[in-house]
Structure 1
Amino acid sequence: MTDCSIILVGGPASGKTNYIARLWLAFQAKKGRLKAEHFPDNIEYVNEAVAHLLARKFAPRTEHNMEEGARRDFTVPVRGGDGAGPVRSLTVPDITGELWKRSLETYELPQEWIDALEASSSAIIFIRANSKLNHQPMDWVTAREMLKGHNDEDDDDTEDDSDDYGQNEDEDGEPIARADPQPPADPPFLVEAPAPATEDMGTAEPILADAEVQDASTKAAGLPAQVGFCELVRYLTLLLADRPDGSKPRVAIVVTAWDTIHPATRAAGPMRYLKDQFPMFAGRIRTPGRLDFGVFGMSIVGGDLRNPAFRESLKRRDLSNLGYTAVMRDGAVVEDPDVTLPLAWALGD
Structure 2
Amino acid sequence: MSRSVVLLGGPDTGKTNYIGRVWPALDAAKGRLQIVQQPSDITFVLEVTDHLHSGNFAPRSEHAVARRDFEAVVRGRDGGGEASIVIPDISGELWLNAVKHAEISVDWMDELCRSSGAVLFVRVGSDQDIRPLDWVTSRRMMTRVRSPDDPGLPTQVVLCELIRFLEMSLTSRSCGGLPRVSLVVSAWDLVDREVFSRGPKAWLEREYPLVAGRLGDIERLDVQVFGLSIVGGDLRVDEDCRSAVQEEGLDGRGWIAVEGPNGEWTKDDDLTLPIAWAVGV
Corresponding residue SS for 2:219: coil
State how far apart, in whole Å, the 1-side matches of 2:116 and 2:59 are: 29
Q: Deviations over 1:285-306 (max 9, x none)?
A: 1114111100000001111111
Residue pair 1:29, 1:320 contacting (<8 A) in 2 also: no
Alignment pair present for 1:12 and 2:11: yes
Cα distance in 2 for partners of 1:261, 1:46 equals 27
Structure 1 length-normalised TM = 0.76
Residue 45 (structure 2) aligns with: 46
Partner residue, 2:279: 347
C-alpha deviations, 1:111-136, integer Å up to 9, x for none?
Answer: 01111011001000010111111101
| 1:335 pairs with 2:237 | no
Q: Equivalents in 2 of 1:25, 1:293: separation in Å?
A: 26
**Corresponding residue to 1:126 among 113, 121, 127:** 121
Q: Are 1:311 and 2:238 an aligned pair?
A: no
**Equivalences for 1:1-349 in 2 at 5 Å?**
2-62=1-61, 64=63, 66-67=64-65, 70-80=66-76, 82=77, 84-141=79-136, 143=137, 147-148=139-140, 151-152=143-144, 220-306=150-236, 307-329=238-260, 330-349=262-281
SS in 2 for 1:334: strand
More strand by share: 2
Judge conservation of contact 1:255–1:298 (CA < 8 Å) in 2: yes
What residue in structure 2 maps to residue 187 of structure 1? none
List 4+ stretches of structure 1 deviating above 6 A: none
Q: Is the 8 A contact 1:7 1:123 kept in 2?
A: yes
CA positional deviation for 1:283 = 0.7
Q: Give me the whole-angstrom Cα distance separating, in 2, the residues matched to 1:150 and 1:59.
A: 38
Distance 1:220 1:259, change over 3 A: same
Do 2:159 and 2:211's aligned partners in 1 also have CA atoms closer than 8 Å?
Answer: yes
How much identity, in percent, do the aligned residues show?
43
Kindly indicate whether the alpha-carbon contact (under 8 Å) linking 2:62 and 2:92 is maintained by their aligned counterparts in 1: no
Summarize deviations over 1:189-228 as a string: whole Å, max 9, x none.
Answer: xxxxxxxxxxxxxxxxxxxxxxxxxxxxxx5311011100
Aligned pair count reads 279
Please list the CA deviations of residues 134-169 of structure 1 after superposition, one character each: whole Å capped at 9, or x if unmatched. Answer: 10101234x1xx6248654xx59x9xxxxxxxxxxx
Deviations 1:237-281 (A, max 9, x none): 111101111111011100000001222111100100100100010
Unaligned 5+ runs, structure 1 = 159-218
